[in-house]
Structure 1
Amino acid sequence: MNGERETLGTAVYNLDDDTLRWSPGARLDADEYARTRAAGFKWWRSSEAWVARWTTRREDFLLEFVEEIGHEADPDDPDARITRFAGRAAAAEGRSDERARAAMQGLPPMGEPIKVGHHSEGRHRRAIERSDQNMRRAVEEGRKAEYWRGRAAGAERRARQKSDPGVIRRRIEKLEAERRVIQRSLADLEARPPTPETQASWDRSVTHWRRWAEHLDLRLEFERARLASLNPEPFAPVTAYKKGDVVDTKRYGRCEVVRVGPKNVKVRQITGPTKGWEWAVPPHELRPVPPEEPSTSG
């Protein structure tokens, strides 16, 4: 790093997508640029920031340039992003159509061949060249339109994921599994006290895994708070079900419980075109069906 600069821009950790974002505020020199790319950062021109998924190594790398790394939730408005990308797709598609129409103008009718030596030869060749240029531009703009449609679709999927309780629950389950792996790694290290020769390496490993554990705790806290903010419909835990229970599911309709596992409930579909098929369903997608009240009619 250039010794003349104590800090270089600002950096934040984005809680929403688990990324580090560094805005240098000045052009990186060749060495800084190479190291930033080698660390796994990519330049996001729309955000004017270097972005990468969080790791301890990348956090340490940024702390060479900035005094601290702040925390923030996603500053982007998903609806605005969808509208912006869709608008760019529509504009590119309009330009493509305009170029395609221009490519058909000025050409001799019915594909008339060039009359070599005729006074119209030069005009005919120029018309074909203009048509070829316009058609190439039409294809380029069509590709741009397809790109921006894909970006708009991605932004829409991301917006749904941020507000879908099922997606958030699955993310929490994955984070909890990752934390269990890290906790086992820490327990294994602590069960094998270091020797004087391995003390430094042992300290580095313990620090590394503790930082990962703290990071996952932070992410779990954020995701659980996001789930709570959505006010999802309460659901019974997996232990609330037993074989033979009748339940309603979001995807398969009315089903009967076949087996209860540690995480999912295996059910057999009793309605619909796939009646008799069996599925593994997470408990948050189940709703118990109350038993029918006995008839009082005489």
Structure 2
Amino acid sequence: MTTLIINHSHEAGTLLEGTTRGDGSAPILKAYGWRWGRSINAWYIPMSRDRHPKTHKIDATAAGLRAKGFEVETDIDTTVRSTAEVEAGKLARQNQRVGALAAKADRKATEANVARNRADAAHARLPWGGEPIKIGHRSESQHRRDIERAHTTQGQAIKADADAGQAAIRAETAARTNTLRYSPQPVANRIEKLGAEIRRLERELKGHTRVSGPYRDVFPPAEGEYRERILSQLDEQKDALAYWQGIRADQLASGQAVEYGPEQIKKGDAVKIGGHWREVVRANRKTVSVATGYSWTARAPYTDVQGHRPAQD
């Protein structure tokens, strides 16, 4: 029996080599959450690219395959790429996807045109003015065939139009993905999220105490293999934070984004959040409270602010 090899790298993710159709590995792999990738012609663990190896899933899969008589080896590379390399890879893959979807949309549009022309031709063969079928006449069978052909081709044209429209929407959505990923608000939100994750990892590393009502939970500093894993994750998150902070700095310098805060925004001002202008009720340290038109106010982080008008304006 061919030896199966589970490979992992930060760039490619977790893949399985050596399987063949009908060898009995598919039910086992599906049970452990693996999927078949047609474009890469291999089994893979979803969401494993650009991430640390999911050792618990890899070990469980290897054990499950060995229990069924397969010989399994693992080749795990824990080297982490920089955030700049990861983002470059994502952009390249997304651009390839955009191109493929655009080509599919063009192909579907052409197929829809052909189907509409075929339907028009079938309807043109019908007697003018909706002439009824002449029962018993020599033209009866031909007339029925023409009606059936017109009905069938019309249905095909409607389906082709729907498929073309769906393909066009998918292509347009994919084309916007990169733009949205690097727009000011998502970038600012990502920086905030990375900062929170770094603080969490640092607490895990140094140890911390969590108080919840009368309960007091003490977590000791990370040790051994767990400490090494935390340190690796911490380095990765700090690199990502530096990368996105650089993107944010460029956006601020070019005027694409504005850094709002309690220094600029005051009570009585108007701010634009989610496409709507709201009156500021209170400018907090990290969030702004705005009127909703009801008896309550709403809070939003300053990164959600899309525009600002001082009260005097």
TM-score with structure 1 length normalisation? 0.64
Aligned to 2:134: 115
Q: Find the counterpart in structure 2 of residue 266 from structure 1.
A: 289
Alignment-mate amino acid for residue 101 of structure 2: F
**SS of alignment partner, residue 118 of structure 1:** coil
2:187 maps to which of 168, 184, 193: 168
Q: Is the 8 A contact 2:278 2:290 kept in 1?
A: no
CA contact (8 A) 2:111 2:160 kept: yes
Amino acid at match of 2:149: R
1:283 alignment counterpart: 302
Q: Check if 1:5 corresponds to 2:3.
A: yes
Give, as a single letter, the amino acid of the residue that structure 2 aligns with 1:159.
Answer: N
Letter of the structure 2 residue corresponding to residue 67 of structure 1: D
Cross-structure match for 1:140: 159
Given residue 5 of structure 1, which amino acid in structure 2 is its aligned partner? T
The change in CA–CA distance for 1:174 and 1:40 in structure 2 (over 3 A counts) is farther
Contact kept, 8 Å, 1:247 with 1:255, in 2: the verdict is: yes
Identify if the C-alpha distance between structure 1 residues 242 and 148 changes in structure 2 by more than 3 Å, giving closer, same or farther.
closer
Please name the residue that 2:68 is paired with: none
Q: 1:132 to 1:242 in 2, by over 3 A?
A: closer
- Matching residue's letter, 1:35: I
What residue number does 2:46 align with?
52
| Residue in structure 1 matching 2:76, options 37, 51, 68 | 68
Pair 1:112–1:178, CA change in 2 (3 A)? farther
Cα deviation digits, residues 197-253 of structure 1 (max 9, x gap): xxxxxx9xx967974784475256335414414622166575656854858657566
Q: CA deviation at 1:114?
A: 2.8
Gaps of 5+ in 2: 49-53, 63-71, 210-216
Shift of 1:52: 0.7
Contact 1:56-1:212 within 8 A present in 2 as well: no
Letter in 2 for 1:136: G
**1:85 equivalent in structure 2:** 101
* 1:287 Cα offset (Å): 7.9
Instruction: Verify the 8 A CA contact 2:19 2:25 in the aligned structure 1.
Output: no
C-alpha change, 1:254 and 1:125, in structure 2 (3 Å) is: closer
Residue 92 of structure 1 contacts residue 145 of structure 1 at CA under 8 Å; is this kept in 2?
A: yes
Counterpart-to-counterpart distance in 2, 1:44 and 1:158: 22
Distance in 1 (CA, whole Å) between partners of 2:9 and 2:161 is 36
In percent, how many aligned pairs have the same letter?
Answer: 22
- How many residue pairs end up in the alignment? 268
For the 8 Å contact 1:244–1:256, the answer to whether it is kept is yes
Contact 1:11 1:62 in 2 (8 A): no
Secondary structure of the 2:289 match is strand
RMSD: 4.7
Pair 1:35 & 2:28 matched: yes
After superposition, the C-alpha distances for 1:126-167 in whole angstroms (9 at most, x for unaligned) are 223332332333233233223322321331332123311321
Structure 1 window deviating more from structure 2 (87-96 vs 173-182): it is: 173-182
Alpha-carbon distance in structure 2 between the residues aligned to 1:169 and 1:145: 36
Displacement after TM superposition at 1:102 (Å)? 1.4
- Counterpart Cα distance in 1 of 2:95 and 2:40: 17
Q: Is the 8 A contact 2:194 2:241 kept in 1?
A: no
Contact 1:114 1:125 in 2 (8 A): yes
Q: Determine the C-alpha separation between the residues in 2 that align with 1:42 and 1:150.
A: 26
Cα distance, 1:278 vs structure 2: 6.3
Measured in 1, the distance between the counterparts of 2:227 and 2:133 equals: 74
SS in structure 2 opposite 1:22?
Answer: strand
Task: Could you tell me which runs of 5 or more consecutive residues in structure 1 were left unpaired when the two chains were aligned.
Answer: 194-202, 293-298
Q: Which residue of 2 aligns with 1:200?
A: none
Change (3 A) 1:48 1:67: same
**What is the DSSP-based 3-state SS (H/G/I as helix, E as strand, rest coil) of the residue aligned with 2:92?**
coil
- AA matched with 1:166: Q
Distance 1:210 1:94 in 2: 56
SS at match of 1:140: helix
Query: 1:222 — aligned with what?
Result: 240
